[in-house]
């Protein structure tokens, strides 16, 4: 995977290539194939997560079977034995694959927890052309499952997964801030432009503090028109009294960069609150998903008197 989210056009191209490969496979076997993992994501036009090395063989098709004894030996097919709930759908009238949420569950045993969160959010984009599931679909699937390998990770991920994000890098930005003890910002916060009926959506925001955080992808920097639109957008946001913080892939390139980003956000908070906002030592993603931690009130709720006026 690259550091940028994949466009609908690119996802559609991948889907068409995958359907061609599946057609060739199905001509070589009489066994019905139900595709899963990366193959299902390509068929469903869903952005793939960053996967372990063993999962990067995109030329291999993944199929699911109830047991490995039920597999057939077809070159180019790797099988996942699955005893949990199985939901499927047909793509292109000929290719059966698991549903988005089922594919997400099939990844739980091999993906790091943070990338399982990224994958879940990539299935629930704000752009309806890319939206493949809703949070209720995830909750229903896990509630109806007895057990499967990775179910605990799924339950942890569901505590922080949010609907209506625009890119995987935005998700990674949010998780980076939470790793250093900062509260989770709101995603795609709707802001009405002063004096108009027009609204714009902030990638991430702390509305009480009027802090906006936006991820600036490569496509922004390579278009002069986009740069001008971004500058105008920033001017509008700041004119309404908001602090604007821009994030790029450099801010997420390693742990030190993520800590520096988190400190920038904490410093912006300090300027509003007029009190220190210390970072915590970097948390494991499992700690980020801890239910007790997630229930903590942000520091500004304890300082409500500062906003009385």
Work out the average pLDDT over 245-257: 97
Contact 121, 168 (CB under 8 A): yes
pLDDT of residue 247: 97
On whether both 102 and 180 belong to a single domain, the answer is no
Least confident of 44-53, 79-88, 158-167: 44-53
pLDDT of residue 1: 32
- Give the model confidence (pLDDT) of 252-282 as tens digits: 999 999 999 999 999 999 999 999 999 999 9
Q: Which of 159, 178, 208 is the last residue of a domain?
A: 159
On whether both 191 and 125 belong to a single domain, the answer is no
- Give the model confidence (pLDDT) of 4-26 as tens digits: 567 899 999 999 999 999 999 99
Q: Which of 114, 141, 159 is the last residue of a domain?
A: 159
Work out the average pLDDT over 196-213: 93
Number of structural domains found in the chain: 2
On whether both 47 and 80 belong to a single domain, the answer is yes
Query: What values do phi and psi take at 261, rounded to 5?
Result: -60, -45
- Label the pairing between strands 199-206 and 88-91: unpaired
Residue 304 within a domain: no
Q: Which of 159, 181, 200 is the last residue of a domain?
A: 159
- Burial class for 35, CB neighbours closer than 10 Å (0-12, 13-18, 19+): buried
Residue 2 within a domain: no
Q: Which pTM does this prediction carry? A: 0.91
pLDDT of residue 3: 42
Residue 280 within a domain: yes
Domain range for residue 100? 8-159
> What does the mean pLDDT of the chain come to?
90
Residue 80 within a domain: yes
Nearest to 103 by CA among 195, 54, 39: 39
Residue with the larger pLDDT of the pair 155 and 218: 155
On whether both 244 and 144 belong to a single domain, the answer is no
pLDDT of residue 196: 79
pLDDT of residue 75: 86
22 membership: H or E segment, kind and range: helix 8-26
């Amino acid at each position: 995977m690259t550091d940028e989210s994949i466009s609908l056009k690119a996802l559609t191209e991948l889907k068409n290539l995958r359907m061609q490969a599946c057609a060739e496979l199905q001509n070589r076997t009489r066994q019905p194939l139900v595709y899963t993992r990366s193959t299902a994501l390509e068929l469903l036009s869903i952005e793939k997560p960053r996967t372990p090395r063993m999962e990067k063989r995109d030329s291999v098709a993944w199929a699911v079977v109830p047991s490995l004894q039920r597999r057939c030996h077809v070159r180019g097919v790797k099988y996942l034995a699955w005893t949990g709930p199985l939901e499927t759908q047909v793509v292109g009238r000929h290719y059966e694959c698991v549903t988005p949420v089922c594919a997400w569950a099939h990844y739980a045993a091999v993906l790091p927890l943070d990338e399982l969160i990224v994958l879940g959010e990539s299935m629930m984009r704000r752009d309806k052309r890319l939206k493949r599931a809703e949070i209720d679909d995830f909750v229903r699937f896990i509630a109806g499952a007895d057990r499967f390998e990775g179910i605990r990770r799924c339950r942890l991920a569901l505590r922080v997964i949010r609907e209506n994000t625009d890119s995987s890098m935005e998700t990674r930005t949010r998780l980076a801030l939470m790793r250093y003890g900062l509260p989770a910002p709101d995603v795609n916060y709707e802001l009405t432009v002063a004096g108009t009926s027009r609204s714009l959506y902030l990638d991430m925001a702390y509305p009480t503090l009027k802090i906006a955080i936006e991820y600036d992808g490569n496509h922004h920097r390579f278009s002069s028109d986009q740069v001008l639109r971004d500058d105008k957008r920033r001017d509008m946001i700041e004119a309404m009294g908001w602090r604007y913080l821009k994030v790029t892939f450099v801010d997420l390139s390693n742990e030190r960069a993520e800590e520096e980003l988190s400190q920038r956000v904490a410093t912006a908070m300090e300027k509003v609150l007029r009190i220190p906002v210390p970072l915590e030592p970097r948390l494991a993603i499992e700690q980020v998903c801890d239910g007790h931690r997630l229930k903590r009130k942000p520091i500004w709720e304890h300082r409500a008197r500062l906003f009385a006026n």
